[in-house]
Amino acid sequence: MLISSTPGPADTTATTVLFERAGDGWERTGEYAGHNGGAGWKRDRREGDRTSPIGVFSLSDAGGSLPDPGSLLPYTHEPALRTGAAAAYGEDYAAVFDRVIAIDYNRQPGTPPNDDTRPLGWDAGGKIWLHVDHDSPTRGRITVDAEDMVHLLRTLDPAAHPHIIMGPADDLAR
């Protein structure tokens, strides 16, 4: 289980914490610094509003412009993701999609992360991923450092049904 949060709903510097099952409870096994959407968090996010969705989402697929580093999640190697990152963020950010984990918000699990299927419709936005940090807020995605991304890819086991809980701390405490 990953929990990605910020102190407040408009904050954009996120902390993502990894918890793993340990006996009858959970053990905190990792903590990663990164970012979320440039307009903070929103439960009813819309395409282009630069917010990250609040909620609990499964993590079922991974991929990236670089070859699979040993991911336990199904991994789709897609070199063109570098071009997509450069188009979205600028040439200096081409590496942000080197490795991604698809967050199952408005997407069809079991498909590559860059699949455009959006069960909630286009207006709800899509392609919400965990991706490599670029030292600034995102358009709705969650980020961690490149080394942390490799660690998560090698740790998140689909047999354990990994999920991410996302949102501001006050909202998640409810």
Parent domain of 48: 2-173
Q: Distance between CA atoms of 64 and 79, rounded to whole angstroms? A: 7
What pLDDT does residue 89 have?
Answer: 78
What pLDDT does residue 143 have?
Answer: 98
CA 106 to chain CA mean position, Å: 13
What pLDDT does residue 18 have?
Answer: 98
Eight-class DSSP state of 54: P
Beta bridge partners of 18: 2, 30
The count of structural domains within the chain is 1
- What are residue 154's phi and psi, to 5 degrees? -85, -10
pTM of the model: 0.95
What pLDDT does residue 83 have?
Answer: 87
Closest CA to 113 of 99, 102, 103: 102
Residue numbers in the chain where pLDDT is lower than 50: none
Q: Distance between CA atoms of 51 and 38, rounded to whole angstroms? A: 6
What pLDDT does residue 43 have?
Answer: 93
What pLDDT does residue 92 have?
Answer: 84
What pLDDT does residue 174 have?
Answer: 78
Q: Which helix (H) or strand (E) holds 171?
A: helix 169-173
Cα separations in angstroms, 170 against 44, 63, 132, 150, 152:
17, 32, 26, 29, 26
